[in-house]
Amino acid sequence: MKNAIEIKNLKKIYPDFSLSIDELKIPSGVVIGLIGENGAGKTTFIKSILNIIKKDSGTIKIFNKDLEEQELDIKKDIGVVLDNSFIPDTLNPKDINFIMKEVYDNWDTELFYKYLKEFKIKDSQMLKTMSKGMKKKVEIATSLSHHPKLLILDEATSGLDPIVRNEVLDIFLDFIQDEEHTVILSTHITSDLEHIADYIIFINNGEIVLEKERNEILDNYGILKCDIDAFDSIDKEDIVRYKKTKYNYEILVDDKNKCKKKYKKYIVDNITLEDLMLLIIKGGK
C-alpha cells in the first residue's frame, strides 16, 4: 500500500506548547480520524502538513515528495477545509469558480456546480449572507472540485445539521473508493468517525498517544465498571486508565472480551471514541 504522508522527527516548538511526532505513515485510500481536545495539537499538526507554519525540525513527505522542496507541486493535489474560512466573505460561488479556474489547471466547473446543486446553494449568493453551515458546504465543494488526491479537513462538518452531515460524509467515502485518495478529518463530532474512519490518530499534549484502526479500538476496548471497594481486586495489568465517580470506578480496558470472562460479576460496556478520549485525558493510570 502506498503512503500518502510520511513524517519523521517532526517538531514545532512554541513557548508554552510543542508538537512532537517521531514517526507517522498515513496510507493512501483511507479516512484518518484525528481526535483530541482543544489545544492538543491537531491544528498545529494539520498546518505543519500544509506548510502554513514552519516546522522546527523533521521531514514531511506527501505523495513521496518532500514538502519543502516541492510544495507548489504537492499543494495542487490537496483539498483543504480549515476551521476558519479561507474564502473572502465578499465572494459568491460564481466568483469562486472564476478564480479557481485560474488557480488550478484541473479545476472542474461542472463538478463544482454539481456540488452546489446537491447542497442547494445559489451561485449568486455572497458568502457573507450565508449561514456557517452553508459556508462550509461551499468550502467543501471548492476543496473537491480540483480533483485532489488528499483532503485535509479541520472541523469541516461543524455547523452542519445531521442530514447534511451524513450527505457530506458519504461524499468523503465516495472520494476514497479508488484507493488513491486519502482523507484526514479532524472533528469534535467523534460519532462521525465511528462511521467512516479507517484509522484513528489521537493527539494529546502535542504527541500521538494512540494510533490504531477504528475497528480495533471499538471491538477491543471497553469500560469495566466496579464498586469502589472492588477496585483493588482488578489486576493492574488490565487497567489502561481509570476514573473514580461518586459510586464506582470506570476502568478503560484494551481487551474487553478477556475482561468479561475474567470479571464476570462486573459490567464491561462497549466504548465510544468520546469515552476513550475522556478516560485517556482525564483518567488516572
Cell of 52: 502554513
143 and 183 in contact (C-beta within 8 Å)?
no
Distance (Å, whole) CA 219 – CA 201: 16
Q: What is the mean pLDDT of residues 10-22?
A: 95
Give me the pLDDT at residue 1, please: 63
Segments of the chain assigned to CATH 3.40.50.300 = 3-216
Give me the pLDDT at residue 133, please: 84
Q: How confident is the model at residue 161 (pLDDT cuts 50, 70, 90)?
A: confident
**Alpha carbon distances (Å) from 182 to 22, 115, 125, 175:** 21, 19, 31, 8
Beta strands in 214-265 (DSSP E): 222-227, 241-244, 248-253
Residue 179: closest CA among 60, 52, 1: 1
Cell of 66: 518532500
Query: Over pLDDT 70: what percentage of the chain?
Result: 100
Return the residue matching grid coordinates 449568493: 125
pTM: 0.92
Q: What is the mean pLDDT of residues 137-142?
A: 93
Q: How confident is the model at residue 96 (pLDDT cuts 50, 70, 90)?
A: very high
As a whole number, the mean pLDDT across the chain is: 92
Q: How confident is the model at residue 92 (pLDDT cuts 50, 70, 90)?
A: very high
Lowest mean per-residue pLDDT among 155-164, 178-187, 257-266: 155-164
pLDDT by residue (tens digit) across 234-283?
A: 999 999 999 998 889 999 999 999 999 999 999 999 999 999 999 999 88
**What residues pair up with 183 in beta bridges, in sequence order?**
31, 151
pLDDT by residue (tens digit) across 61-90?
A: 999 999 888 888 898 999 999 877 778 889
pLDDT by residue (tens digit) across 207-247?
A: 999 999 999 999 999 999 999 889 999 999 999 999 998 88
Count other Cβ atoms within 10 Å, centred on residue 31.
24
Residue 3 has pLDDT above 70, yes or no: yes
Give me the pLDDT at residue 216, please: 96
Element (H, E) at 274: helix 273-282
Q: How far is CA 182 from the centre of its chain?
A: 11
Residue 57 has pLDDT above 80, yes or no: yes
Residue 12 has pLDDT above 90, yes or no: yes
Residue 51 has pLDDT above 80, yes or no: yes
What is the second-level CATH architecture of the domain 3-216? 3-Layer(aba) Sandwich (3.40)
Residue 45: closest CA among 29, 24, 31: 24
Q: Which SS3 state, helix, strand or coil, does residue 204 take?
A: strand
Residue 165 has pLDDT above 90, yes or no: no
